[in-house]
Amino acid sequence: MTTVPDEDEYIHEDYPRDDETPWKENWYFNFIDKENNAWGFNHISLERHKNRGRFCTMHVVDGETFKYLEYFALSEDFTEINDGKLHLEFLEPHKKFRLRFDGPNHSIDLNYRGRFDVFDYDHDRGKNKPKGDKKSLAVHHYEQALTVTGTLTKDGVKRDISCFGHRDHSWGYRNEMNISAWNWIAAQFADKTINLMLVRIKDFSGSRGFISDANGNTTITKVEVVSTERNAQDEPANAVYKVTDENGKTFSMASEVFSTVSTPPGEDGAGDTITVYENFSHFTLLESGEKGIGIDEYLENSEG
């Protein structure tokens, strides 16, 4: 049973006014449909300290990358998550969502459904406030595995989409410029999803995560990077992670990238030294051989 109140799905109006410390509210939805040769992510950020919204999509269709990025001023009565091109609707909290994008060369109309329960990083929300340095990361954060159905239309030709997806929602103080690096992994398997998160902030490092399946959520307490590979362009590629859960069980998971989109410095809303690599990857649980698919994301700060 989720500990996330229904109202937390929507826009938070209790953001700090007259505060120049970076405060953002973010929503992220992805889809990965290899059978239909289409995958990508959709990201919306309300940057309250700048009084602007940032709407972004990066989709790969038939090997071609389509990117959309738009900023616009936020009004006090901004309640509908819509910039005229990218539109997110909450049909039923924690369960049903609709995301539409209308671009010059392609469009999507996707229905997202909760596959497993939401995992809330702030379990005891009534007593605990977000932990961390206000100057770096002090956010509420939850995530959820999804199924995705709908359509993608490219150059006037429509194709059906049916696949796994993932979402997250966070809000609070968030300053990527003070983060040295992070790894964020959302891997979808036939019977479960595995999420890993490692963050390095100057002299501090931490890791967390979770496993969701039909029986509920299991917290991951430790994540270690066993090995990494970089490609000929010196971009992060494949990796192996060692994971420990709340019951002391350990396992290893390998990622193998099949498609990469990246946001270069100055284009991700974080700063001129930040690069984010969104690696669409195959995953393998090394002990069992189980195969999955998902995201292996890297943030790298050249001043980290």
User: In the predicted model, what is the mean pLDDT of residues 173-177?
Assistant: 85
Q: How many CA atoms does the CB half-sphere of 21 hold within 13 Å?
A: 15
What does the chain come to in residues?
304
CA distance 109 to 98: 7
User: In the predicted model, what is the mean pLDDT of residues 241-250?
Assistant: 98
Q: Which helix (H) or strand (E) holds 302?
A: none
- Give the residue among 55, 45, 8 at the shortest CA–CA distance from 24: 45
Instruction: Please give the structure tokens belonging to residue 81.
Output: 């998550």
Percentage of the chain exceeding pLDDT 90: 79
pLDDT at position 126 over 50: no
Q: How many CA atoms does the CB half-sphere of 203 hold within 13 Å?
A: 0
> pTM for the complete prediction?
0.93
Q: What is the pLDDT of residue 193?
A: 98
CA distance 65 to 74: 28
Q: What is the pLDDT of residue 170?
A: 95
Grade residue 161 by pLDDT with cuts at 50, 70 and 90: very high
CA distance 169 to 241: 24
Q: Strand pairing partners for 110? A: 99, 150
Same fold, 17-174 and 177-304: yes
Q: Counting Cβ atoms within 10 Å, is residue 221 exposed (0-12), middle (13-18) or buried (19+)? A: middle
pLDDT at position 64 over 60: yes
CA distance 293 to 284: 9
User: In the predicted model, what is the mean pLDDT of residues 242-251?
Assistant: 98
Q: What is the pLDDT of residue 86?
A: 98
Q: Counting Cβ atoms within 10 Å, is residue 57 exposed (0-12), middle (13-18) or buried (19+)? A: buried
pLDDT at position 269 over 90: no
Grade residue 263 by pLDDT with cuts at 50, 70 and 90: confident
**Residues 245, 235, 260, 86, Cα dihedral to 10°:** 90
Grade residue 8 by pLDDT with cuts at 50, 70 and 90: very high
pLDDT at position 176 over 90: no
Lowest-pLDDT choice from 93-97, 127-131, 215-219 = 127-131
In CATH terms, the fold of domain 177-304 is AttH-like fold (2.40.370)
CA distance 18 to 11: 18
Q: What is the pLDDT of residue 202?
A: 77
pLDDT at position 144 over 50: yes
Q: Which helix (H) or strand (E) holds 234?
A: none
pLDDT at position 127 over 50: no
- What is the domain partition of the chain in residue ranges? 17-174, 177-304
Q: What is the pLDDT of residue 304?
A: 60
pLDDT at position 206 over 50: yes
Q: Which string of b and e fits 133-147 if b means at least 16 CB within 10 Å?
A: eeebbbbbbbbbbbe
Q: What is the pLDDT of residue 178?
A: 83
- The DSSP line for 131-163 is PS-TTTEEEEEEEEEEEEEEEEEETTEEEEEEE
Grade residue 125 by pLDDT with cuts at 50, 70 and 90: very low
pLDDT at position 133 over 70: no
* CA torsion through residues 275, 278, 281, 287, sign: positive
CA distance 153 to 109: 9
Beta strands in the chain (DSSP E): 23-33, 38-47, 52-61, 64-73, 86-92, 96-102, 106-114, 119-120, 137-154, 157-174, 181-188, 192-201, 204-213, 216-230, 236-245, 250-263, 274-285, 291-301
C-alpha gyration radius of the chain: 18
pLDDT at position 39 over 90: yes
Instruction: Please give the structure tokens belonging to residue 68.
Output: 């959309």
Identify the CATH homologous superfamily for domain 17-174. Answer: AttH-like domain (2.40.370.10)
Q: Which helix (H) or strand (E) holds 78?
A: none
